[in-house]
Structure 1
Amino acid sequence: MKRFAELLDRLVLTPSRNGKLKLMTDYFRAVPDPERGYALAAITDGLDIRSVKPAMLRALMSSRIDDVLFDYSYDYVGDLAEAIALVWPSPHDGEERGRNDVPTLAEIVETLNRASRLEGPRLVEEWLDRLDSSGRYALLKLVTGSMRIGLSARLAKQALADFGKVDVAEIEELWHGLQAPYLDLFAWLEGEAGKPVSAARSPFRPVMLSQPLEPPDYERITREEYAAEWKWDGIRVQATCEKGTAKLYSRSGDDISSAFPDLLEHMRFEGSLDGELLVARPAADSEPLVDPHGGRVEDDIVVGTFSDLQQRLNRKTVSAAVIRKHPVFLRCYDLLQDGAEDLRPLAFKARRERLDAFATHLDKTRFDVSPFVLFETFEDLTRLRADPPHAVIEGLMLKRWDSAYVPGRPKGPWFKWKQDPHVIDAVLMYAQRGHGKRSSFYSDYTFGVWAGPADDPALVPVGKAYFGFTDEELKQLDKYVRDNTVERFGPVRSVRADPDHGLVLEIAFEGLQRSGRHKSGIAMRFPRVSRLRWDKPAFEADRIETLEAMLPA
């Protein structure tokens, strides 16, 4: 457990990707089975410890420390596991350095998996008394399943690939058929056994990604070499169905099937589709769209906004009411598997022809094929990108006709050419503490623009951003928030913001849409802080009318 706790501490404090990869590979090399396998499962959210829940941990704290004192501590730290680890009053605190009965990670995981919900909290309490503060933090992160250590499952898979000197695509294709503590996987990676046979039905196939189109590449884009498609503003998914087992995966290989049962029930094919998950609105709500060259953009399905899709995202389960209000469908880009035949080595043109034929057997209310955008010259594409026929289009995709489907992000076969981001000046209104290594900083910022009469304007919130600034700028922002706080609401502070005093933030974003959930009536897509305008007075920030003029008709 000590080595796992040390790994977590170092991962939190290591900002670089390569640094995290080295920490993981060194850990896999130094730590034996089954410890390293359980650590891998914990980091990749592959453990489901049901005998302990966060509310039980709060109850444990009530037996050891005054509730008000702990609430203050939790508010300051911003993370439940970290707060408990720091303030837990162990009866053995003076003996910690000499104790030799610290449980192993495997002991903890296997014991909790056998324990009931009555036994789980008692076990955690006993271990908290035996561990130092670093070990307590690791234990609590383990049982709550909320690591927040800056390491994605995809990066952990890359560390495995580096450790075993194999392609990460091989790890990804095996992943959903493996179980902790991954003994067969590590045996293969260390050369002691053959490659495991995937036990998963409908496995994930690593996706092919695109490169941003830059000016030096403009001249290579011709209609003879490249196909053009709209880039729809949904989420990239892979829909796979084999022998009656249907799975929906995110682009990073996470199984998101449980959140979209309405799509899975219509997956009655044998194959694997690559496409964009979107929300559908009944066709009666809107006229079918037509592209500038006369081709229909869509026939039976009208696309909802990304705000509609957000109602379905990041949920383990979804209610029937939400499903009825925000039904999803798949706009198909590619066909990776047709029955037992792997189509990925074929050219895109051949795969697209197979997709068109495959789609004729799919439910047209839940599946359609991404239409090609017709063009003669690159100038045609420039005009189309600037004025797409639908608000849910965020640019163009350009794909070589002869490109095979290659995992990763190869240079040249596929390009994405997104619309230029919009930029406004807004005023900082509220700030909230961050998580993990940002838990001591006010790093999440709500900003607004002016509304109302010119001689008596008021700020109305229009968005929230928590990235786009440097570490040095974060320190400056945190100091500004502390120095200009006018009210406190738990972990949130309201800062002074009026026409004569306020911090202006230049905000970049991908688009706007109407929203009944926000006071301003506007939802902002992918907002981020692009510049701190210390030089600009607050009264010169933008007005709500500026954003309303940007809304699609």
Structure 2
Amino acid sequence: MYLHMQAFADLLERLLLTPSRNGKLRLLTGYFGTAPDPDRGYALAALTGELDLKSIKPAAVRALAEERMDPVLFNMSYDYVGDLADTVSLVWQETRGANRTPPLSEIVETLQDTTRAEAPRLVAGWLDGLDATGRWALLKLIMGGLRIGVSARMAKIALADFGSVDIKDIEEIWHGLAVPYETLFAWLEGKTSRPSPDIDAPFRPVMLAHPLIPKADRETPDAVDPSLITPGSFAAEWKYDGVRIQASVEGTVRRLYTRTGDDISHTFPDVLAGLNFQGTLDGELLIRAEDGEGVAPFNALQQRLNRKTVTKRQMQTHPAFIRAYDLLHDGEADLRALPFRDRRTALETFLAQHGTAQLDLSPLVPVTSLQDLDALRMNPPAPEIEGLMLKRWDSAYVAGRPAGLWYKWKRDPFLIDAVMLYAQRGHGKRSGYYSDYTFGVWNGETLTPVGKAYFGFTDEELKALDKFVRENTVERFGPVRSVTPEIVLEVAFEGLQRSARHKSGVAMRFPRINRIRWDKPAEEADRLETLEAMLPE
């Protein structure tokens, strides 16, 4: 039995230490093929974020550790390591005895049935029976947020590889499956037929686009040169700065899904109320501007996202709606195999009948020449538009990211020079490095924080920045270090909005470090007025 938990622990450790995507997929398929039911099902639920163990929280885990060692020493260790699970797994002082570590499935099922008062005692006993790697895996499991470089989609791709099936066949039934997924594994192993989705209005795997950028600026092999776009072959639409959404209605059941298949219906009852049709739509979730016509900045949509409940006032002040891009199902008729030209005609007819205040049509942008499209991309009619979407008129709606069919051509990012002010340890394989950086610009004679970034640099640059942080720490605030304001970071971001929640008065969209300006003195960094000039009027 112990080996089952240890196998899960070994899987997590190897996934964390394996950088390549294909390597991670091989590890996952190997585990699915050797782990027994229901252990592998609970492991899959943990990897896809479907496992929620409410009986134990991080504060309780920390309290357990502080019962067995000096709290001051634990706090010093936690400050050095930067990750709670890593710290507890390393410093845990075992109580020797007849400690039995049950299999993964028993741990999960026990915690699901126990109380918060009883859970810490059980966890302490399991920690006593595991080695450091096993303790780390147990704590990651029960506290959630594995942070091992495996997304829910990667786990589903591994399932598809394991069962030699198409991933869209898994995604279409995913929401009708129950943890620990024994019927799913039975099908993938050829023991039973494919499970049927046990829900109405199921999720349909979405079609994604490749980036369209000049060859000299390509960062990925999938990026395509704009010169391949010909006016007669492609349609163009605005790419709005919202959340890609799928709206599905079957009978009396109405659901909203994100592009990854997360059901967010409960957060947007006002949108559901406006879905008076039968079928499935692809579109963008947005917030109406105060004038009732335009689109509000993404910051307004953030006020509605990730909420367990939404108030009547929030729906009034931040009214959400869907701007429809595509029609996948018209009633029971599946339109996905039709070319985009036919689906677009069907969508226009569909919305003429079923359009509401919560559902409207994405307008087409005239395609004349590549130069004209480039000008529109860089100067869209509203700041809430990120650029263009280009779609072949003859493209079927194909799940995944098929080559040569759809492209996204975004505005070039904004760039500023800012000064690193604070640093915080990362998570997972970055837990040993200061990898999250808060940066600021000059406001008069002082530096004002304007954003935070944690990617965009190489491993070697990370080591150099981490070394700087350790050698130039001015103050400590828990896990955060204030540093000497000397390092200038060139920061790229997608957009800027006014924000009363930030001291600077502005909020950046998708900030990342474009390069490190080792050669530039801090006094030459940009000023707050520079950012304010970038704000949309």
**Shorter-chain-normalised TM-score: which range?**
over 0.9
Question: Would you say the 8 A contact 1:332–1:367 is kept in 2?
Answer: yes
Structure 1: 5+ residue stretches without partners: 284-299
- Counterpart in the other structure of 2:535: 551
Question: Would you say the 8 A contact 1:301–1:365 is kept in 2?
Answer: no
- Counterpart in the other structure of 1:460: 448
SS in 2 for 1:176: helix
Segments ≥4 residues shifted beyond 6 Å? none
1:127 aligns with 2:113: no
- Counterpart in the other structure of 1:239: 247
* Aligned-partner Cα distance in 1 for 2:468–2:225: 43
Match of 2:71 among 58, 67, 71: 67
TM-score (normalizing by structure 2): 0.93
Task: State which drifts further: 177-186 or 250-259.
Answer: 250-259
* Aligned-partner Cα distance in 2 for 1:166–1:16: 22
SS in 2 for 1:281: coil
1:273-312 alignment runs, 5 A limit: 273-283=281-291, 301-312=293-304
Question: Would you say the 8 A contact 1:503–1:533 is kept in 2?
Answer: yes
- Counterpart in the other structure of 1:290: none
1:319 to partner: Cα distance: 4.5
Once the two structures are superposed, what CA deviation does each residue of 1:423-463 show, in whole Å capped at 9, x if it has no partner? Answer: 121111111111111112111111111222xxxx2212121
* Aligned-partner Cα distance in 2 for 1:146–1:477: 26
Aligned CA distance change for structure 1 residues 157 and 532 (closer, same or farther; 3 Å): same
* Aligned-partner Cα distance in 2 for 1:114–1:396: 50
1:366 to partner: Cα distance: 1.1
1:161 to partner: Cα distance: 0.7
Question: Would you say the 8 A contact 1:161–1:168 is kept in 2?
Answer: yes
Task: State which drifts further: 312-321 or 76-85.
Answer: 312-321
1:199 aligns with 2:198: yes
- Counterpart in the other structure of 1:170: 169
* Aligned-partner Cα distance in 1 for 2:489–2:401: 33
Once the two structures are superposed, what CA deviation does each residue of 1:21-73 show, in whole Å capped at 9, x if it has no partner? Answer: 11101111111211111111111122222332333333433433333333333
Once the two structures are superposed, what CA deviation does each residue of 1:86-109 show, in whole Å capped at 9, x if it has no partner? Answer: 2222112xx8xxx78321011112
Task: State which drifts further: 48-57 or 267-276.
Answer: 48-57
Question: Would you say the 8 A contact 1:25–1:160 is kept in 2?
Answer: yes
1:209-228 alignment runs, 5 A limit: 209-215=208-214, 217-228=225-236
Once the two structures are superposed, what CA deviation does each residue of 1:278-332 show, in whole Å capped at 9, x if it has no partner? Answer: 112232xxxxxxxxxxxxxxxx532110111222233344444444332221111
- Counterpart in the other structure of 2:275: 267
1:421 to partner: Cα distance: 1.2
1:420 aligns with 2:392: no
- Counterpart in the other structure of 2:470: 482
* Aligned-partner Cα distance in 1 for 2:112–2:478: 35
* Aligned-partner Cα distance in 1 for 2:160–2:294: 42
Structure 2: 5+ residue stretches without partners: 215-223
Q: Quick one: which amino acid aligns to residue 87 of structure 1?
A: V
Q: Quick one: which amino acid aligns to residue 160 of structure 1?
A: L
Q: Quick one: which amino acid aligns to residue 134 of structure 2?
A: G
* Aligned-partner Cα distance in 2 for 1:468–1:133: 32
Aligned CA distance change for structure 1 residues 133 and 504 (closer, same or farther; 3 Å): same
Once the two structures are superposed, what CA deviation does each residue of 1:461-519 show, in whole Å capped at 9, x if it has no partner? Answer: 1211100001111010001111111111111111112xxxx111111111222222222
* Aligned-partner Cα distance in 2 for 1:449–1:116: 49
- Counterpart in the other structure of 1:522: 506
Question: Would you say the 8 A contact 2:274–2:356 is kept in 1?
Answer: no
Match of 2:457 among 459, 466, 469: 469
Question: Would you say the 8 A contact 2:265–2:272 is kept in 1?
Answer: yes
1:259 to partner: Cα distance: 2.7
Task: State which drifts further: 507-516 or 360-369.
Answer: 360-369
SS in 2 for 1:330: strand
* Aligned-partner Cα distance in 2 for 1:503–1:220: 41
- Counterpart in the other structure of 2:219: none
Question: Would you say the 8 A contact 1:244–1:268 is kept in 2?
Answer: no
Match of 1:39 among 31, 38, 43: 43
* Aligned-partner Cα distance in 2 for 1:447–1:483: 18
SS in 1 for 2:304: coil
SS in 1 for 2:395: coil
- Counterpart in the other structure of 1:397: 389
SS in 2 for 1:476: helix
SS in 2 for 1:302: coil
Q: Quick one: which amino acid aligns to residue 508 of structure 1?
A: A
SS in 2 for 1:247: strand
1:89 aligns with 2:93: yes
Aligned CA distance change for structure 1 residues 335 and 324 (closer, same or farther; 3 Å): same
- Counterpart in the other structure of 2:360: 368
Using the aligned pairs only, state the percent identity: 62
SS in 2 for 1:231: strand
TM-score (normalizing by structure 1): 0.90
1:521 to partner: Cα distance: 1.6
- Counterpart in the other structure of 1:24: 28
SS in 2 for 1:405: coil
